[in-house]
């Protein structure tokens, strides 16, 4: 039987990812509660591309950016969204450059769609940097910005020269001090 | 929309028009395009697993300054609609769709409806390649 693994708070996990990659990275976040939660965490400190919709497509959008830009691109995805376009993990495996990262926050379902459960993930996938087990923390207090304004902000950010060291990848940085699942171990949620 | 009967020399023409990123899903009527695109560097051509993924890739590349093309079979237009409407349009990016059209005898119900769907939502940035184009 798979051991029960502890989960961390959603905001804590997001803050740790942002701490790891810094403010020179572009963050791409799936639609839903994750988007608002990330906005609460980063405020104006980091540039985030918020998907207005398109379940499962954040990794593909992020890969498209990463292939055309030198900045780190950090995709933050949900477990249900990962499953919605699971084939994309193979495209990422084959084509993602070293400055592309893909985190999956696994709370076991589509929380923003009424706490509907999703099928349990495998412990690891090609094209996924890490899967982090997180708690279900409810609706965030902020919502994503208007898509057209957000796109303009992202275009400006990507056109800006990189700060010194901005193109360096996070691979040499310390690992997250979070739940990092070993291969073959499925994440479990701590409920209530 | 405009169309050509086959894809001979299509990649070179598109590159001459300034398109610099190609992604999509294979289709028999676009075989030459895919073969030619395979010679591009990896960052300029990414075969996708399905049409929505290809459109999402194109949308991201466009935000980063690329001029993307998405090739797909006409039967896959339905899958492409969601990201066209929910990502590309709100973000103000317009990848060019290269829609491969199968001969009528080989067509499917979804294929028959493909370009009509694009017309219905007002997506005009597409070209039909293949039979009866």
**Interchain contact B22–A (C-beta under 8 A):** no
B110: part of which helix (H) or strand (E)?
Answer: helix B109-121
Asked if A53 and A5 touch (Cβ cutoff 8 Å), the reply is: no
Q: State the SS3 of chain A.
A: CCCCCCCECHHHHHHHHHHHHCCCCEEEECCCHHHHHHHHHHCCCCEEEECCCCCCCHHHHHHHHHHHCCCCEEEEEEHHHHHHCCCHHHHHHHHCCCCEEEEEEECCEEHHHCCEECCCCCCCCCCCCEEEEECCCCCCCCCCCCHHHHHHHHHHHHHCCCCCCCCCCHHHCCCCCCCCCCCCCCCCCCCC
Residue to substitute from B26, B44, B48, B64, interface A, most A β-carbons within 10 A: B64
Q: What is the pLDDT of residue A2?
A: 40
Mean of pLDDT values over B28-39: 92
pTM score, whole prediction: 0.88
Over the stretch B93-107, which tens digit does the pLDDT of each residue have? 999 999 999 876 666
Q: What is the pLDDT of residue A178?
A: 46
Q: Which two tokens stand for residue B38?
A: 């395979």
Q: What is the pLDDT of residue A185?
A: 47
Q: What is the pLDDT of residue A32?
A: 87
Q: What is the pLDDT of residue A58?
A: 98
Find the residue in B nearest to A69 (Cα). Answer: B64
Q: What is the pLDDT of residue A153?
A: 97
Chain A environment of B92 (Cβ under 8 Å): 148, 151
Q: What is the pLDDT of residue A10?
A: 94
**Interchain contact B83–A (C-beta under 8 A):** yes
Residue to substitute from B56, B82, B95, interface A, most A β-carbons within 10 A: B56
Most confident of the following: A61-65, B28-32, B129-133: A61-65
Asked if A60 and A85 touch (Cβ cutoff 8 Å), the reply is: yes
Q: With CB atoms and an 8 Å threshold, state whether B87 touches A63.
A: no
Q: What is the pLDDT of residue A1?
A: 38
Query: Distance between CA atoms of B128 and B6, rounded to whole angstroms?
Result: 9
When pLDDT is cut at 50, 70 and 90, the band that residue B109 belongs to is confident
Chain B environment of A87 (Cβ under 8 Å): 49-50, 53
Per-residue pLDDT tens digits of chain A, which is 192 residues long = 344 557 899 999 999 999 999 999 999 999 889 999 999 999 888 999 999 988 899 999 999 999 999 899 999 999 999 999 999 999 999 999 999 999 999 998 777 766 677 889 998 999 999 999 998 888 888 888 999 999 999 999 999 988 776 654 444 444 444 444 444 444 443 332
**Interchain contact B81–A (C-beta under 8 A):** no
Query: Distance between CA atoms of A36 and A31, rounded to whole angstroms?
Result: 9
Q: Which of A32, A102, A51 is nearest to A74 (CA)?
A: A102
| Residue, of A68 and B1, whose pLDDT is higher | A68
If phi over 0 gives left and psi between -120 and 50 gives alpha, with beta otherwise, what is residue A180? beta
Q: What is the pLDDT of residue A86?
A: 96
Mean of pLDDT values over B103-120: 81
Asked if B114 and B25 touch (Cβ cutoff 8 Å), the reply is: no
Q: With CB atoms and an 8 Å threshold, state whether A28 touches B52.
A: no
Query: Distance between CA atoms of A76 and A14, rounded to whole angstroms?
Result: 8
Query: Distance between CA atoms of A163 and A13, rounded to whole angstroms?
Result: 25
Nearest-neighbour CA in chain B from A55: distance (Å) = 9
């Amino acid at each position: 039987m798979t051991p029960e693994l502890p989960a961390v708070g959603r905001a804590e996990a997001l803050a740790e990812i942002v701490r790891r990659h810094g403010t020179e990275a572009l963050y791409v976040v799936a639609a839903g509660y994750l988007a608002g939660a990330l906005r609460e965490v980063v405020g104006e400190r980091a540039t985030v591309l918020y998907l207005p919709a398109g379940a499962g497509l954040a990794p593909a959008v992020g890969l498209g950016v990463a292939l055309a830009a030198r900045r780190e691109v950090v995709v933050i995805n949900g477990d249900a969204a990962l499953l919605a376009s699971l084939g994309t993990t193979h495209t990422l495996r084959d084509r993602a450059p070293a400055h592309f990262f893909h985190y999956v926050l696994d709370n076991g379902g589509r929380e923003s769609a009424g706490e509907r459960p999703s099928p349990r993930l495998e412990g690891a996938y090609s094209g996924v940097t890490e899967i982090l087990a997180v708690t279900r923390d409810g609706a965030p207090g902020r919502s994503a910005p208007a898509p057209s304004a957000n796109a303009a902000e992202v275009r400006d950010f990507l056109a800006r020269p990189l700060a010194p060291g901005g193109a360096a990848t996070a691979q040499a940085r310390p690992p997250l001090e979070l739940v990092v699942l070993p291969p073959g171990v499925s994440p479990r949620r701590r409920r209530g | 929309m405009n169309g050509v009967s086959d894809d001979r020399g299509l990649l070179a023409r598109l590159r001459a028009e300034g398109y610099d990123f190609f992604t999509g899903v294979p289709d028999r009527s676009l075989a030459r395009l895919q073969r030619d695109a395979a010679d591009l560097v990896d960052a300029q051509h990414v075969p996708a697993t399905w049409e929505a993924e290809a459109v999402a890739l194109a949308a991201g590349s466009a935000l980063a300054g690329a001029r993307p093309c998405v090739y797909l079979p006409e039967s896959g237009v339905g899958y492409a609609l969601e990201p066209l409407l929910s990502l590309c349009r709100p973000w103000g990016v317009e990848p060019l769709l290269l829609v491969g059209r199968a001969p009528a005898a080989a067509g499917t119900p979804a294929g028959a409806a493909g370009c009509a769907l694009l017309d219905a939502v007002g997506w005009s940035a597409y070209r039909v390649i293949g039979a009866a184009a």
